[in-house]
Amino acid sequence: MPTERTSAGDPARTLQLLWRETAPAGGRGPRRGLSIDAVVEAATAIADTEGLDAVTMRRVAKELAVVPMTLYTYVPAKAELLDLMLDAAYARMPRPDTAGLPWQHRVSAIADENRALFERHPWAAAVSTSRPPLGPGLMGKYEHELSAFEGLGLSDLQMDDCLNHLLTFVQASARAAADVRSARHDSAMSDRQWWQVNAPLLARVLDANAYPTAVRVGTAAGTARGTAYDPDHTYAFGLRRILDAFAALIERNRNPNSST
């Protein structure tokens, strides 16, 4: 389960910060050279290298060489800071122009762009965005991503549903990929090495006659991929299946009387 979620702070204050409609509060005014953007950049750098748990107001203040109370004049708490971090990451996402390309290419590009986001910022994959940060980064991202579904005969609700389904898949894939990287790091072994170490024990305790399908399929998959779970293969397979499902929905909308 995600340990952090967006929009957990004061909504009014968060929106003011996201859209930069507020000035730092405090007695003697802002410190020269410090800004909301600088705070967000410092916090993001910490999260990228050490994880989101390492991001505290005290730690960010230390990175910026200010006392924590100075930081609070720019961002009131970590909840609002997280929204600012994620929205800034959204704003920096490349948004290549895919107009005129087949819709499958446009949708695949959206998936790949979000996968790249989670590779640049692994912490973002673990954040729940069921209540998204409604800042300019998110709105620009949403506008860009919806354009991949424009002109396909989908209703507005279907466009939103398709995009949500796609992004949920990408985020889940990113979390699974992060788990694989953590397992490899913690065990100091590749997946192939791990299976080589455990295969003899498994062969002794596993009755292949009791689990014939599992043994047959598991052996075939493991032989083909060198591991029980390959994040790249699973992502590519899942994306293809999503495109197939979208194609069926588009076809039904275009031909409502069709039997397909």
Q: Which CATH architecture has domain 103-254?
A: Orthogonal Bundle (1.10)
Q: For residue 187, give Cα distances in angstroms to 30, 94, 183.
A: 47, 35, 6
* Number of residues written out for the chain: 260
CATH class entry, domain 4-91: mainly alpha
Tell me which residue of 112, 123, 142 sits closest to 82, measured CA to CA. 123
Task: Tell which residue, 173, 172, 174, 192, has the closest CA to residue 184.
Answer: 192
Would you give per-residue pLDDT tens digits along the chain (260 residues)? 447 999 999 999 999 999 998 765 544 555 556 999 999 999 999 999 999 999 999 999 999 999 999 999 999 999 999 999 999 999 999 999 999 999 999 999 999 999 999 999 999 999 999 999 999 999 999 999 999 999 999 999 999 999 999 999 999 999 999 988 888 877 887 877 877 777 787 778 888 899 999 989 988 988 888 888 899 999 999 999 999 999 999 999 999 886 55
The DSSP output letter for 148 is G
pLDDT, residue 1, reads 44
Residue type, 83: D
In 82-156, DSSP assigns E strands to: 127-128
| Domain ranges (residues) in the chain | 4-91, 103-254
pLDDT (0 to 100) of residue 150: 97
Q: Is 250 exposed, middle or buried (0-12, 13-18, 19+ CB in 10 A)?
A: middle
Amino acid at residue number 8: A
Considering only CA atoms, which of 175, 174, 169 is closest in space to residue 245? Answer: 169
pTM to 2 decimal places:
0.90
Classify burial at 166, counting beta carbons within 10 Å of its beta carbon; exposed 0-12, middle 13-18, buried 19 or more: buried
